[in-house]
Amino acid sequence: MSVNLAILGAHGAVGQEMLKVLAERNFPVNDLKLLGSARGAGAEILYGTRKITVEQVSDDSFKGVDIVLSALSSDLTRTYTPMAVESGAVVIDNSSAYRMDKDVPLVVPEINPGDAALHKGIIANPNCTTIITLVAVNAINRFSPIVRMIASTYQAVSGAGKEGPEELREQMGNYLAGNALENRVFKHQIVDNLIPHIDNFTENGYTAEEMKMVNESRKILHSPDMMVSCTCVRVPVMRSHSVSVMIETREDVSVEQAKELLRNAPGVELADDISAGIYPMPIHSSDKDTVFVGRVRKDISGSNGLNIWCCGDQVRKGAATNAVQIAELLVNERRAASC
Amino acid sequence: MSVNLAILGAHGAVGQEMLKVLAERNFPVNDLKLLGSARGAGAEILYGTRKITVEQVSDDSFKGVDIVLSALSSDLTRTYTPMAVESGAVVIDNSSAYRMDKDVPLVVPEINPGDAALHKGIIANPNCTTIITLVAVNAINRFSPIVRMIASTYQAVSGAGKEGPEELREQMGNYLAGNALENRVFKHQIVDNLIPHIDNFTENGYTAEEMKMVNESRKILHSPDMMVSCTCVRVPVMRSHSVSVMIETREDVSVEQAKELLRNAPGVELADDISAGIYPMPIHSSDKDTVFVGRVRKDISGSNGLNIWCCGDQVRKGAATNAVQIAELLVNERRAASC
């Protein structure tokens, strides 16, 4: 069973990583279309031994396509997703455009794979920080439901696309040379700085990025009453997002129980041996698909709480890998249906 | 009224900053002794127009000294502080050695200046992150006592002394050049990384740095029952510490009330106008004495909670400035006594 696949936004950081992940995971690709804006059209990209020319996306780009992996901005996604669905494709969309629509499943395959089957043409890929945090706490949530979660994030510059790491690298050079710094991607300098502002501010004083953690977490975990607050901060790290998270569970979960759950949790690598100086760090999780989890300890400020520190590659598990895993769910579903 | 002053550890980052702060604040210095280890002895340091030779500290270094500003490691402080106290000096100690001793006041002048007068020869300067966080939340705590505080820190490399920023700078250069990185000060690379491990681990899985926030906060705020948990993380920023903090107060405090309190809080600069993109960042607070506070909003995960983001210069308000402010309290006390 081979799939006719299209990648929308093939030129971006996530689009490029999707190609890498598809090849690594031997995804059963039959036809592969690479689609992009007028600016990117005409470029040639290698996929294994195939040389594929990027086509400018149009309303007839999706004929015969089974699955579209879309890595566009929310605005562009709202233009092209309906065309693709109309043509009969299933769109796995990495933007935030459709995530909270009640007809659109929001899926992390380690957590709620069953939701994927409920799609009506669109499956949304969650926010990167939300994916990483939820993969880290999922096994504990299954053991005893999380009733409250307070997260502070340490988000890499890769979250701003290809240009984020380029800007940090350029600023590092100019910083060392004592030159003026130029901010194009970020509102403020990011070298030697932290920016507590990702995405736009909303009415309650939280940013849209912070509210994604609140709302998407509830949807993915099927926990509409879970209480969540979040502070999102951009840090001068290239690629892995990290999160300091406090979770309160309905029943008390001991540190040993939590570690045992994490040891067996899908998509998780427990990195927690403080006596040996082992804990998750961005340098460990970058270019990996697993979420590294550690510093597991009782929250000493309340009851039934655990403090956890986790790191995950934002471009991979936080975006490209999760999307490809959703595509794999669709393939497996078709395989099962054709048996 | 002029003071015979000694600086212990005059060569370190904090010792150097103390000299700068003393001069800036026109501290009434009469005699000024600069004391250090054998390694630093003999060096000449300018204080205003005076050229002062660093002396090797010994048991008779403290004769005639009124106040010692000590910026030594905890080990060394335990050796020299008793000698200084024996000689009749008051030691303002920046290390953690005596902070939790019940006979040693732990003072942030904006918060508990009255405690300084209760000293028996030693006054402790609190942990840098604790000072910055508590200055940020002090006015709210006075209005309605904080019952719970959950903090995640973003701590600059300056917290490791002079060598911290040197190592980050060196690693930035080698990172850009594609060279191998050398870790001398930090256990792991700090460029392009985050290290969730500051000071040693303790039995409950928290680090000593994290437990300082817990225990010192209770002592400074005179709130022995306040519940606190903390996650301390080293970030690739040169000099200002930042903290994402959730506080729950006994009564509900509105965002507008909190902002009004912060606007009038000593040592605080309210930097909170999200519509104009204004919030605290390390580049604002570095080389300043005020703690920048912003992103003030209701904690939407519970009742009576506020989320706050604050940044403060770790070397100045987190260490040198706070120590000099304590010395000023002592001078004012003597002035009042001699009236």
Q: What is the pLDDT of residue B120?
A: 98
Q: What count of residues does chain A have?
A: 339
Farthest-apart Cα atoms in chain A, separation: 65
pLDDT at position B339 is 66
pTM: 0.97
| Given A11, A119, A230, A241, the catalytic residue | A241
CB contact under 8 A, B231 and A309: yes
Its ipTM equals: 0.96
Q: Which residue of A has its CA nearest to B310?
A: A196
pLDDT: which is higher, B335 or B107: B107
Q: Say yes or no to pLDDT of B1 above 80.
A: no
CA-closest candidate to residue B253, choices B137, B135, B153, B150: B137
- Helix (H) or strand (E) run with residue B293 in it: strand B291-298
Q: What is the DSSP string of A220-234?
A: HTT-TT-EEEEE--B
Query: How would you classify the pairing of strands B227-231 and B146-154?
Result: parallel
Touching A: B residues 249-288, CB under 8 Å = 255, 274-275, 277, 279-283
SS3 at position A267:
coil
Pairing outcome for strands B268-270 and B291-298 = parallel
**pLDDT surpassing 70 at residue B291:** yes
Model confidence band, residue B335 (pLDDT cutoffs 50, 70, 90): confident
Contact flag A237-B236 (C-beta cutoff 8 Å):
yes
Residue of A nearest to B170 (CA): A176
Rounded average pLDDT over B303-319: 97
Q: Tokens at residue A149, please?
A: 């979660």
Confidence band of A276 (pLDDT split at 50, 70, 90): very high
Contact status, residue A261 vs residue A137, Cβ threshold 8 Å: no
Q: Each residue of A163-214: pLDDT tens digit?
A: 999 999 999 999 999 999 999 999 999 999 999 999 999 999 999 999 999 9
CA angle, residues A182, B169, B201, in degrees to nearest 5: 120
What distance in Å separates the CA atoms of residue B108 and residue B123, rounded to the nearest whole number? 11
**Cβ contact (<8 Å) for B298 and A204?**
yes
| DSSP reduced 3-state for B13 | helix
The DSSP 8-state label assigned to residue B241 in this structure reads: E
Does the distance separating the beta carbons of B295 and A194 come in below 8 Å? no
pLDDT on residue B38: 83
Residues in B closer than 8 angstroms to A192, CB to CB, are: 236-238, 282-283
Query: How distant is the Cα of B220 from the closest Cα of chain A, in angstroms?
Result: 17
d(CA B99, CA B96): 5
Active-site position among B241, B284, B310, B311: B241
pLDDT of residue A259 exceeding 90: yes
pLDDT tens per residue, range A105-114: 999 999 999 9
Rounded Cα distance between B110 and B131, Å, is 10
B194 interaction partners in chain A (CB closer than 8 Å): 154, 235, 237, 242, 281-282, 311
Interface of A with B in 112-131 (CB under 8 A): none
**Average pLDDT of the residues in B65-82:** 94
Confidence of residue A339 (pLDDT cuts 50, 70, 90): low
Instruction: Measure Cα distances from A331 to A67, B65, B285, B308 in Å.
Output: 9, 80, 53, 45
* DSSP structure class, residue A160: G
Judged against a pLDDT cut of 70, whether residue B218 lies above it is answered with yes
Q: Which one of A201, A213, A287, A300 would you mutate to disrupt binding with B, by most B Cβ within 10 Å of its Cβ? A: A300
Averaged pLDDT for residues A137-143:
98
pLDDT (mean) for B123-147:
98
Contact B204 A246 (CB under 8 A): no
B188 vs A237: CB contact, 8 Å cut-off?
no
A241 in Cβ contact with A154 (< 8 Å): yes
* Active site annotation includes B128: yes
How many percent of chain B have pLDDT more than 90? 92
B39-55, pLDDT tens digit by residue? 888 999 989 889 999 99
A11 is catalytic: no
Name which of B193, B205, B246 is nearest A281 (Cβ-Cβ). Answer: B193
Model pLDDT for residues B220-249, shown as the tens digit of each residue: 999 999 999 999 999 999 999 999 999 999
The confidence score (pLDDT) of residue B183 equals 97
Tens digit of each residue's pLDDT (9 = 90 or more) over B178-212: 999 999 999 999 999 999 999 999 999 999 999 99
Q: What is the mean pLDDT of chain B?
A: 96
| Distance between CA atoms of residues B206 and B151, nearest Å | 13
Q: What is the pLDDT of residue B267?
A: 98
Q: How many CB atoms lie within 10 A of CB B183?
A: 12
What pLDDT, in 10s, does the model give residues A74-101?
889 999 999 999 999 999 999 999 999 9
Contact, B233 vs A244, CB < 8 A? Answer: yes
Residue type at A217 in one-letter notation: S
Q: Are B128 and B241 in contact (CB under 8 A)?
A: yes
